Structure 1
C-alpha cells in the first residue's frame, strides 16, 4: 500500500538544554481519516522549544479510505500506545494531545495510564454525537462502504489536512462503539487538561464537551474557545494560539 509522503510520522529528539535539563516528551495524534500532516506544524513548534515530539501515523491513514475500512479503534489505539511507550522510555515526563478522534484516543491513554500522563491537550475531541443516523451504521456499513468525507473543515483559505474524501463506514463504526466505554472511564482521567474548542465546528457537534468536562476527575481543566477556526484548528487561523498556549501548558505541567 502506497503511503502519502505527507503522512510520514514525525519524530523529534529532546533537547534538554532548552527545557531546564529535563527530557520532556509530547505525543500528538491526528484524527479519523486525517494523517500526521494535520499535526506536524504543532509538533514542529514544540520540537523547536526542545521537547521530544512524536506524531505517529495511525493504521489505515495516509493511504486509502478503503484500507482504513479494514482497520479498527483497537489498531489505532495500539499504535498510539506503542508511540507513547517509546516516548516514555526516553523522557522524564510525557504530555499527550490529539485532534478529534485523536483527542478520544489520548483521553483513553490518559485514563489507562493516569500515573504516567502529565497533561492532556485536546482540540475538538469527539466522544459522542447528537446525529441520529449513526444508529443505522450497523446496517449501513454492510450496504455501502463509505459516505462523503469529513476532511478539510478549515476556515483559513487554502487550508488542507490531506485527509480522505470519503468516510469509511466500517472503520467509523468501530470508533463510535469505543465511545461508551471511554465515557464510562473518563473519571479515571486525573491529569491537567487544556481543551481547545472551535466556536464553529462542522464535524464534531456540541455533545462531547459537556461529557468530557463533567466526567473527568481532573481538577485543572481550562477550556479555550477558538473563534476563528473550524474543526481542523491545528491548521486554521487559531493555530498560533494553540501552539503558544500548549507550549506554556507543557512547561507548567512537567515542571518539577
Structure 2
C-alpha cells in the first residue's frame, strides 16, 4: 500500500483510498494500455467468449509461464444448468474493480446445480493489464452489462443478476431501471458506499494522475496495481446506485452478504440500505462479524473470528470462494500477503508456517496475517441463496 508521505489517490473496490504522489511506472507491457477493448455485441455468448479470449491472448501481460491457465481465469465463461426445471433460468454475474471472472469460479457451478444457465462477463479494462483501467468508463461497463443481460433474457424465462463489489453496483442499477425483467439479485460485498470519503476525489485526480498504486505481483486472477481512473469509475457506480436506490426501492428478492470488517466498503451503510431500500420480505442479508443489533428479521449474523481456523475476521473478497479452492482456498497455491502489514509480519507472511487470516489492514501483536481469501461458511451461504430460489424461482 502507498504511504502517507504521498499525496491523495484513489484505491480500488478491493483496497482503501490512500495518499499518492509521484509513482515510478515500470517500463513493462503491464503499464502500457492496449489500443482497444474487445467487442462484446456478438450474436451469441459463445462468440463473445471466443472473441474475448482471442483479444486477451494478444493483449494480456501474462505473469506466469502458463498462459492458458491465465486465460481460463480471466476470460468470460458460461456453465450450462445441470438440471432443467419447468422454466429456463439464467443468471448473469459481474465481477468487481481490478478483478476477473475468476471471482465466480466457485459460485457459478453451485448455481448451475440449481438449474441456472450461468454467464460470467469480463468488464472492459480487466483481465489484461492494469494500464487498461486508464481509458475505462462507467458507461462502457453499463453498456456491456445491459447488452449481456438482455441477450441472456432472450434465452431464458427467468433472469437473475449477481455481482461482487463494483459489479454489484452495476447490476443493482440495471435491475432498478428494468425491474420488471429481473427476478432477483445476488450481491456480494456490494460497493454501494466507499469506506473513505476520499474516494470521491478519484474522478478529479484521474485528470492529472494515472496511477494510484503500483504493486507488481504474481497474482494472475486480479490486478494489485490500480489506475486512478479505475477507482474514479468505481466511485461513479457507487454514486449512481445510491441515487437509483434513493429514487426507487427494490421490491424483489435479494441475497446480500457483507463483512463488518470490510476495508473498502462502509458495511454499516450497506446494511442500512438493505433495511430501507430492499423491501421484499424474503430477501436475506448475511453479516460476518459482531451482532449489528439490527431489528430486521431478514438479517442473520455469522461469527467472523474463528480461532481454530486462524481467522481473525472476514475480508471484502472472502465470501466468494470455497475452502477447497485450489488457488485462493485454505490450502491453495496463492497466499495473499499484500495485506497492509509492515515490518517483520510482512516479511514473514510468504514463508511463515502459521499464518492468520483477516481483512486488509488488520494487525494483532505476535501474529502474521494474510488476506482471508476463502469462506468457511460458503455452504451455509449457498443454503440461504437456495432458500430464496426455492421460493421464488420455478424448479
Shorter-chain TM-score range: 0.7 to 0.9
Change (3 A) 1:46 1:165: same
Change (3 A) 1:180 1:218: farther
Matched, 1:199 2:260: yes
Cα shift at 1:72: 1.4
Q: What residue in structure 2 maps to residue 185 of structure 1?
A: 244
Supply the distance in 2 between the matched residues of 1:188 and 1:54 (Cα, whole angstroms).
Answer: 26
On the 8 A contact 2:264/2:316 being kept in 1, the answer is yes
Q: Please identify which structure carries the higher helix content.
A: 1
> Unaligned stretches of 5+ in structure 1?
151-159
Q: What residue in structure 2 maps to residue 209 of structure 1?
A: 271
Greater Rg by CA: 2
Q: What residue in structure 2 maps to residue 230 of structure 1?
A: 315
Q: What residue in structure 1 maps to residue 229 of structure 2?
A: 170
What secondary structure is seen at the aligned counterpart in 2 of 1:121? Answer: strand
Aligned length: 246
Q: What residue in structure 2 maps to residue 11 of structure 1?
A: 78
Q: What residue in structure 2 maps to residue 154 of structure 1?
A: none
On the 8 A contact 1:213/1:221 being kept in 2, the answer is no
TM-score norm. by structure 2 comes to 0.57
2:92 to 27, 50, 57: 27
RMSD: 2.5
Q: What residue in structure 2 maps to residue 245 of structure 1?
A: 384
Change (3 A) 1:182 1:135: closer
Change (3 A) 1:162 1:99: same
Q: Which deviations, in whole Å up to 9, do the C-alpha atoms of 1:200-251 show, x marking residues without a partner?
A: 2122122333134323454443211234432112022233333332233223
Q: Which deviations, in whole Å up to 9, do the C-alpha atoms of 1:160-189 show, x marking residues without a partner?
A: 782111122112212212333322222252
What secondary structure is seen at the aligned counterpart in 2 of 1:127? Answer: coil
TM-score norm. by structure 1 comes to 0.86
Q: What residue in structure 1 maps to residue 189 of structure 2?
A: 124
Change (3 A) 1:214 1:188: closer
Q: What residue in structure 2 maps to residue 145 of structure 1?
A: 210
Q: How does 1:46-85 map to 2 (within 5 A)?
A: 46-85=111-150
Change (3 A) 1:190 1:41: same
On the 8 A contact 2:284/2:384 being kept in 1, the answer is no
Supply the distance in 1 between the matched residues of 2:115 and 2:277 (Cα, whole angstroms).
Answer: 33
Cα shift at 1:196: 1.1
Supply the distance in 2 between the matched residues of 1:198 and 1:248 (Cα, whole angstroms).
Answer: 21
Cα shift at 1:34: 0.4
Supply the distance in 2 between the matched residues of 1:125 and 1:52 (Cα, whole angstroms).
Answer: 23
> Unaligned stretches of 5+ in structure 2?
1-58, 62-69, 289-302, 305-313, 322-373
Cα shift at 1:191: 1.3
Change (3 A) 1:69 1:251: farther
Supply the distance in 2 between the matched residues of 1:117 and 1:41 (Cα, whole angstroms).
Answer: 23
Query: Larger RCO: Structure 1 or Structure 2 (Cα < 8 Å, ≥ 6 residues apart)?
Result: 1
Supply the distance in 2 between the matched residues of 1:161 and 1:249 (Cα, whole angstroms).
Answer: 34
